[in-house]
């Protein structure tokens, strides 16, 4: 079409159109641009308010589209049990996440937010999600490839809800089972914990061979950003007290508690969460030498460091006593994103003031925001910020439940099988006239799953989808076998019913964090009386559901068979698969099973190592029980040698136990 204006005016209009098109193009929105180019282009356009907003992570209960827009919030999270509504569907979750995201995208620069959740054994906050065994059980499998598959399945179930970020894995090395988070640890042995960092490529995808060391990596929309936690030493606190002081020299910290962080960074972990605990009196949330000096500068970690829930508040005692100082100390130590989680206005105001007064340098703010943006760009959030229902059918998917069932089978540790070599009880026959199932944990999915399931602490009751151990037994036995369930039967009931044998399922109540700290570690009543009543009247197998070894020495002699099932999650069928002989036991203790709490802390390799069942112990149903004591003594002896010659002792130990078990068959 011909220009109806004068030639010069036409040229001017054409130039304006060209300039307007160039103005619409910004490098940070172009996925073809190099990563660092995009980061620096966006960072250069951000105001202080926009930068500080990116450093804030807030709880969903205080979030809204308006809050995301007005305060440039970088991240939202669900705390334990924080859901859109009870029994929320995948669609409910997706709609909520997208509502927050719309607020973020409506800002001047349109920086997408990232949503985080504690998916620590599956997407465990979410109704009908697959609940995998807690880490202590996975450590007993010694199967890192299985753990990687669990990571991939968990990523899909997290994406089903529109969420892109999982606060997992916990790579603490629990050195004292009195600690309330011990079940979140794979093992007392850092080498097992290192192996289990394979959860990271499961969650995020395998890092490309040519990827620079320390740069985070997330493979696509079916993967999520992972979080190695808690940096560092949280499993070694004094007396196993949560958030307490880890008293250990530098060699001990770096040889026991640090190695799994090396592995995590090599595998491209996107984020690292700081521990509430202290190291020799210095709060980790304020430890510049370890967060900035070691993690960032020495290990070249390029993702972002996130605080724990109100983690900076706990820098002072009591928590929050001087919040401005806490912000200063935490951010200057190297924390990039602060899990506030509620009073974001105070955090933003305090950090803004600290920067304006040059108490927190702008260079520190820019470092934090670079790292946050790096993760968001690597994840593809700028290209695909909105969630949809593409993965909704992955939530509680049957294939994932079968994977969880396999994990349960492989996590079970057989500690005793028969009161004498000729009286092995397991495997149980599927065909019997009548069997008894007893115990508080036999028909209770909440107790079976433990903490961090639907609620923060977990809860008693069947409040999500899954198979209880009783249901699994009922579906496994021959149709002619009568299964009688009585939670706490008396001896008259047992003797008058002519049971061929009994299965007793007892254990701990659910707990999380400090609420799980326990100085005596006894089986709570009525579990001991149930075991005594049942096992004193009929042949019995006792299955213990717990997040750690418990004080059971006085009861073991009354049991015909004993199984450590840990916290197996939603798929109780895996237990029936093994005790009825469709599969054999393969699990080995990832923790030392003590005789008495007076021995604690006690770990494999300690000078005075005298356990009830040693680290690495685990029978098979083919193993003669007469080798039980021989194997235990051999493992204990290897532990003593290991103190002085770690590698050679481990080799000798492995060969010795293999030989003993081979001869026992």
Domain boundaries, the chain: 43-394, 412-621
Is 383 marked active-site?
Answer: no
Is 206 marked active-site?
Answer: no
Cα separation, 458 vs 452, whole angstroms: 5
pLDDT of residue 418: 96
Contact 550, 397 (CB under 8 A): no
The 3-state DSSP class for residue 71 equals helix
Strands 561-566 and 413-417: antiparallel
**Contacts of residue 152, Cβ cutoff 8 Å, sequence gap at least 6:** 202, 203
pLDDT of residue 642: 44
Q: How many CB atoms lie within 10 A of CB 83?
A: 19
HSE value, Cβ hemisphere, 13 Å, CA-based, for 187: 27
Task: For residue 230, give the DSSP letter.
Answer: E
Adjacent-strand bridge partners of 304: 271
Beta-strand runs (E) in 186-285: 227-231, 245-246, 271-274, 278-279, 282-283
| Catalytic choice (513, 517, 560, 577) | 513
pLDDT of residue 635: 53
pLDDT of residue 18: 44
Q: How many CB atoms lie within 10 A of CB 349?
A: 14
Q: Encoding tokens for residue 27?
A: 């490098």
Phi/psi of residue 153, nearest 5 degrees: -65, -40
Q: Encoding tokens for residue 188?
A: 């007392």
CATH of domain 43-394: 3.20.20.300
Q: Encoding tokens for residue 423?
A: 């009286």
Q: For the sheet containing 282-283, what is the strand order? A: 245-246, 278-279, 282-283
CATH of domain 412-621: 3.40.50.1700
| Catalytic choice (308, 406, 508, 560) | 308
**DSSP readout, 121-173?**
SSSTTSTT---PPPHHHHHHHT-HHHHHHHHHHHHHHHHTTT--EE---B---
| 112-150: b (≥16 Cβ within 10 Å) or e | bbbbbbbbbbbbbbbbbbbbbbbbbbbbbbbbbebbbbb
**DSSP readout, 444-479?**
-HHHHH-SSBSBSS--SS--SS-B-HHHHHHHHS-T
pLDDT along the chain (665 residues), means of 10: 50 47 79 97 98 98 98 98 98 98 98 98 98 98 98 98 98 98 98 98 96 95 98 98 98 98 98 98 98 98 98 97 98 99 98 98 98 98 97 98 99 96 94 97 98 97 97 98 97 95 98 98 96 97 98 97 98 98 98 98 97 98 62 51 44 46 40
Choose among 587, 181, 288: nearest CA to 410.
587
Q: How many CB atoms lie within 10 A of CB 457?
A: 18
């Amino acid at each position: 079409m011909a220009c109806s204006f004068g030639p010069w005016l036409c040229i001017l209009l054409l130039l304006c159109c060209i300039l307007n098109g160039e103005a619409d193009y910004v490098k940070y929105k172009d996925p073809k641009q190099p990563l660092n180019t995009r980061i620096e282009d966006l960072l250069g356009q951000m105001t202080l308010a926009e930068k500080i907003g990116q450093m804030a992570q807030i709880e969903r209960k205080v979030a809204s589209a308006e809050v995301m827009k007005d305060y440039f919030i970088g991240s939202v999270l669900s705390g334990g049990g924080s859901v859109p509504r009870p029994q929320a569907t995948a669609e409910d979750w997706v709609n909520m996440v997208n509502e927050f995201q719309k607020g973020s995208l409506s800002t001047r620069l349109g920086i997408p937010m990232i949503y985080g959740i504690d998916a620590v054994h599956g997407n465990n906050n979410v109704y009908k999600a697959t609940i995998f065994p807690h880490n202590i059980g996975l450590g007993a499998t010694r199967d890192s490839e299985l753990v990687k598959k669990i990571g991939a399945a968990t990523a899909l179930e997290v994406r089903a809800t529109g969420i892109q970020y999982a606060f997992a894995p916990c790579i603490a090395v629990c050195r004292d089972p009195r600690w309330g988070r011990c079940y979140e640890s794979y093992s007392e042995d850092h080498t097992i914990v290192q192996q289990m960092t394979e959860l990271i490529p499961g969650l995020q995808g395998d890092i490309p061979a040519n990827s620079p060391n320390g740069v985070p990596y997330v493979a696509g929309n079916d993967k999520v950003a992972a979080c190695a936690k808690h940096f560092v030493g949280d499993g070694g606190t004094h007396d196993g007290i949560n958030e307490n002081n880890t008293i250990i020299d530098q060699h001990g910290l770096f040889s026991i508690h640090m190695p799994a962080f090396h592995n995590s960074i090599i595998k491209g972990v996107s984020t690292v969460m700081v521990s509430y605990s202290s190291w020799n009196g210095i709060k980790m949330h304020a430890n510049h030498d370890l967060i900035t000096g070691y993690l960032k500068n020495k290990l070249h970690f390029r993702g972002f460091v996130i605080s724990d829930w109100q983690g900076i508040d706990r820098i002072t005692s009591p928590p929050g006593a001087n919040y401005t100082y806490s912000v200063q100390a935490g951010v200057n130590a190297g924390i990039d994103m602060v899990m506030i989680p509620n009073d974001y206005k105070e955090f933003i105001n305090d950090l803004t003031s600290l920067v304006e007064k040059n108490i927190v340098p702008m260079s520190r703010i820019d470092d934090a925001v670079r790292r946050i943006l790096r993760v968001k760009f690597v994840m593809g959030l700028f290209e695909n910020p909105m969630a949809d229902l593409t993965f909704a059918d992955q939530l509680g998917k049957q294939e994932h439940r079968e994977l969880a069932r396999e994990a349960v089978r492989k996590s079970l540790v057989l500690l005793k099988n028969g009161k004498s070599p000729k009286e092995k009880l397991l495997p149980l026959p599927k065909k019997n006239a009548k069997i008894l199932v007893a115990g508080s944990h036999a028909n209770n999915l909440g107790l079976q799953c433990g903490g961090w399931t639907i609620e923060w602490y977990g809860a008693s009751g069947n409040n999500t989808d899954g198979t209880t151990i009783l249901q699994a037994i009922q579906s496994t036995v021959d149709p002619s076998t009568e299964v009688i369930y009585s939670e706490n039967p008396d001896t008259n009931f047992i003797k008058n019913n002519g049971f061929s044998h009994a299965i007793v399922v007892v254990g701990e109540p659910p707990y999380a964090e400090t609420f799980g700290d326990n100085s005596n570690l006894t089986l709570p009543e009525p579990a001991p009386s149930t075991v005594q009543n049942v096992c004193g009247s009929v042949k019995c197998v006792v299955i213990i559901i717990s997040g750690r070894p418990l004080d059971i020495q006085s009861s073991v002699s009354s049991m015909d068979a004993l199984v450590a099932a840990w916290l197996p999650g939603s798929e109780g069928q895996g237990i029936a698969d093994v005790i009825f002989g469709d599969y054999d036991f393969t699990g080995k203790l990832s923790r030392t099973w003590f005789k008495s709490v007076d021995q604690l802390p006690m770990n494999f390799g300690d000078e005075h190592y005298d356990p009830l069942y040693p680290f690495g112990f685990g029978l098979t149903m083919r193993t003669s029980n007469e080798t039980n004591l021989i194997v235990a003594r051999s493992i204990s002896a290897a532990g003593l040698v290991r103190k002085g010659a770690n590698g050679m002792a481990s080799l000798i130990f492995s060969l010795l136990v293999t030989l003993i078990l081979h001869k026992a068959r």
